[in-house]
Amino acid sequence: MWRLAHADNQPLSNQPLGLINRHQVAQSGYSCEPRRTCSQISSCDEASWYLANCSWGRKLDRDKDGIACESQC
């Protein structure tokens, strides 16, 4: 009861937090399988997707300039 009485009446925002949902992952055809290297990635789009969406994706950007697998891009 206390929570209900003290709840903020503002609805939760539906604004994205920079994360994608499971449906978008399924549509992309990619998955966040760990231990990938640039030699296992077939395109710049795929490398960019991993960089943006996987916790380990920043390993693909060795010089930390925001471009993953520069040999592919």
pLDDT tens column, 14-59: 444 445 555 444 456 888 987 678 999 999 999 999 999 999 999 9
pLDDT at res. 5: 66
Please indicate, yes or no, if residue 3 is contained in any of the structural domains. no
Token pair of 42 as six digits: 């077939």
Please indicate, yes or no, if residue 20 is contained in any of the structural domains. no
Backbone phi and psi for residue 17, each to the nearest 5 degrees, phi listed first: -105, 15
Please indicate, yes or no, if residue 11 is contained in any of the structural domains. no
When comparing pLDDT for 6 and 68, which is higher?
68
Please indicate, yes or no, if residue 22 is contained in any of the structural domains. no
Question: pLDDT-based confidence at 65, cuts 50/70/90?
Answer: very high
**What's the domain count of the chain?**
1
Token pair of 6 as six digits: 């003290």
> Distance (Å, rounded) from C-alpha 23 to C-alpha 29?
10
The 10 Å Cβ neighbour count of residue 61 is 18
Q: Residue 71 belongs to what domain range?
A: 38-73
Burial 42-60 (b: 16+ CB within 10 A, else e): eeeebbbbbbebbeebebb
